[in-house]
Structures are given as structure tokens and as C-alpha cells.
Amino acid sequence: MKTLALLSLLITLSASLSKSSHQGDGGSSGGNLHGNIDGFTVDLIHRDSPLSPLYNPSYAPYDLVQNAFLRSISRASCLSRRAGFTFSTKIEADISEVPGEYIMSIQIGTPPVVVLGVADTGSDLTWAQCQPCQNCYKQDNIPYLVPSSSSTYQALSCQSKACEALDENQSSCDSENMCHYKMMYGDRSYTSGDLAIDTFWFGSTSLKNVVFGCGHDNNGTFNENVSGIIGLGGGPLSLVNQLKSVVKGQFSYCLIPQYNDIINQTSKIYFGDLAKVTGPNVVSTPIVPKEPSTYYYITLESVLVGNNSLSYERSVSKNKVVKGNIIIDSGTTLTLVNADFHSELTSALTEAIGGQIVEDPQGLFQLCYRDLDLQRVPNMTFRFDGADVELPPTSTFLEVQRGMSCLTIVPSDELAIFGNLLQQNLLVGYDLVNEKLYFRPTDCMRHE
């Protein structure tokens, strides 16, 4: 009963939608959606929140923190390999991986069926487990999709634009010319099935002909309390790109702090006009088009530690300006930066903070303090191209064990990632039409 009550809570969506019908031709990568929607809001539930179906009450708070960090390393490896890097680390991250840290509840089909998916800015294709299941992971308390039960479901042909949008190694055709997809993840988890369209529901308003993967063969380390993945990346088959004409290519989110206190409150994700980030303190930086198109690349120029400016470009590329040298990702907890730059950063922080550095027994962090007084920690400002984002000590240092706080920025010689701990209490807006990323300091606990 507790699980069912929790599921009912997750289904509750805050939606502000006009009543309009959205038709499509059934074959485009974006469903050919049209309409006049003001926007809609959905709860974005952190997987370690007591409101999440993935929450494990047997874990102590520091266990949740350590597991989140290990997932972060595993995810960074996954994202780096897809970007063409050979990710290597001394940290062993042998932990069941869900490819993201936040959960969304939507509905698919006519009549609508609840889909509880991992919201992932590092994936494009939305998919959910479908019956009949040839080889599916166990799924508890959430219904499987049954294509034959939906009057609006339609499998797509190999000549559809959506099928053509898949990479060659992600698509295949059967004897009836139906398009099949297959997605592999870095931990050898996978999903495969039929590429299809159906009606997606946000609250009471429907969006027709949205492309998704109806997964009949899905396995690996996916959690039994989620249906699949909701793709929010930058590629053509992502949910936000498919709905571009409806939501104007805009979505934003406001992430509440997670690990300082365990709270019964959700973050929010906004689409359409409601996603606009405005106000006197808004800054913006270009989203740099690069491969893979899934990722949101931005340009980090320097980091300000108090009044001490550290050039990221000088550390990484000997003064050569490299556009798109870091991605922003809501599904990675830690922030990863170039190892040489990380060494400069820790030196600057050590000088500013003083005190006795202690060793992290887990071997993950290079800069840790016992009983750290956060008032001694200077604010850090990440200076992106055109956007200075000031970060308080509560984001850059976190208590990882009782009495021991560590810098949540770690070194990597592969893909640099601006993770979700540093995005807390920021309204982060994505404008895919104008290729802009927006930041505004916000108390996300109060933001609606």
C-alpha cells in the first residue's frame, strides 16, 4: 500500500496547458507536433529522496552520498566513452547504475498508462518496457505498456524520419519493414524493441505522435521501480527536440539541495513558456554544437576562487580557446574537470581555507577537511563564455562522512562535466532554438 500511495504521489503533475489537439503524420522524427501551449511543469524527483521509488530507507545518509558519487564515476565513464574518450580511473564503481539521478512521471498511450522514467539529459530516445517482454528486467508496481491496448500506438517503418535519425548501429529492419532500435549503455545494460509513436500525456492534455522506444528486450542494471528512460538530450529524437514546435525548444529545471538535509520536497522541470529564465540576475552562455549531439556542450573559461582567477584554457590547451570544453549534465552528481586544472584549483583552495587536510579513506576525493567551517571556504565562480555563475560553499563542499567534508569537484583527463551538485539552487534554462543556456540564482525550495 505504501508503494501504491507513493506511485499516486508521483503521478501528480503540476500542469498549465491549453486544450488543443496536436496531430502528426506518423513518420517524422518529431511527430510533426503543433499547438499553442503555455507550458507545463513536472515533478523532478531525486532518486535518493524519500519520495522516490528508488529510495532505500536502510541506507544511512552518508551511504546515499557515497553511492551517488560512485554512480557519478560510472556515469562519467559512460558519457566519456560515447564522446570518444577512453575513460580511466583508479576508483572502482561497482554499483547498480540508473543512467541519471532524477525521476519523472509521464503517461503514454490511449488510454494513458503511467511511465516512471529516469530524466536523462545524456540520452535522447525515450523508452519504456513493453509487453510482450522477450527478456525484460523485473518491474514492480508499475504497469508495462501494452501496444495492442493503445488505440493511438503505431510502429514506424524503416523509411520513417525517426528511424533514419537513429545511428546505423542503433537501428535494424525486420521482414515487415518495421524499424527496431537498440541502445547500449556503458555498464553493458541495453534496451531494444520497436520504434513507434504514441500519445504522450502531461496532466490532462495530450501530445500526439511522439516517437519512443517500445522495449521488448531490456536488461542490465536498470532498477525494478522505473519503466525506462525519458530522453532530454540535444539529439533529434529527444523529447524536448520532438516537442520543439510546441514547447519552443525550451525546458528548465530548479534542483533543490539533496544531501545536506533529507527532505520531502521535489525539484521541478518546466517546458515551454514556463521554462523561460528571466530577471535581473540571469546570465547566459552559448550551447556549442558538437558530437555527440546528445550532450549540451558549453565553454568554461576560468574559475574564480575568491579573488584568485584560474584560467581553465591555460591548464587544458596552452592558451588555445576550445569551444565546448565541458558538458552540463543533470544526471552526474560530481563535477569533473581537467586534472592539471584540478591541481591548480585545490592549491588555490588550500591556500584560502588553511587548516589540516585529511585523507579520504575511499580514495575518491583529493581535498578533504575534518570539521570544516564553511565560512572559511571562499565562494567559487565558474566563468563560462558570457556567464559568471557564483557557487556557494554548500555546493562545492559536502560532508561525505561524519565530520569530514570534501570538494565535490574531481579530476578527469577525459570528458569534463558540470554536475548537478553545482547546479543546486540555480534555475537552469535550455533554449534549443537559440542554442543558449541560462542560469539564475534561485531558492529552488520556494520556486514554483
Catalytic positions: 120, 329
For 230, residues 6+ apart whose C-beta sits below 8 A from its C-beta are 104, 106, 115, 117, 118, 119, 120, 126, 239
Could you give the count of Cα atoms lying within 13 Å of 331 in the half-sphere of its Cβ? 26
Q: In angstroms, what CA-CA distances link 127 with 124, 173, 260, 277, 314? A: 10, 18, 33, 29, 41
Rg of the chain taking only CA atoms, in angstroms: 21
Q: Which of 134, 115, 121 lies closest to 191 in space, CA to CA?
A: 134
Q: How far is CA 169 from the centre of its chain?
A: 24
Report the amino acid identity of residue 30.
G
Q: Give the integer Cα–Cα distance in Å for 441 and 393.
A: 14
Q: Give the integer Cα–Cα distance in Å for 175 and 100.
A: 35
Strands 326-328 and 296-298: antiparallel
Q: Are 200 and 106 in contact (CB under 8 A)?
A: yes
* Residue appearing with cell numbers 508499475: 142
**In the beta sheet, which residues pair with residue 185?**
none
- Torsion sign over Cα 185, 433, 22, 179: negative
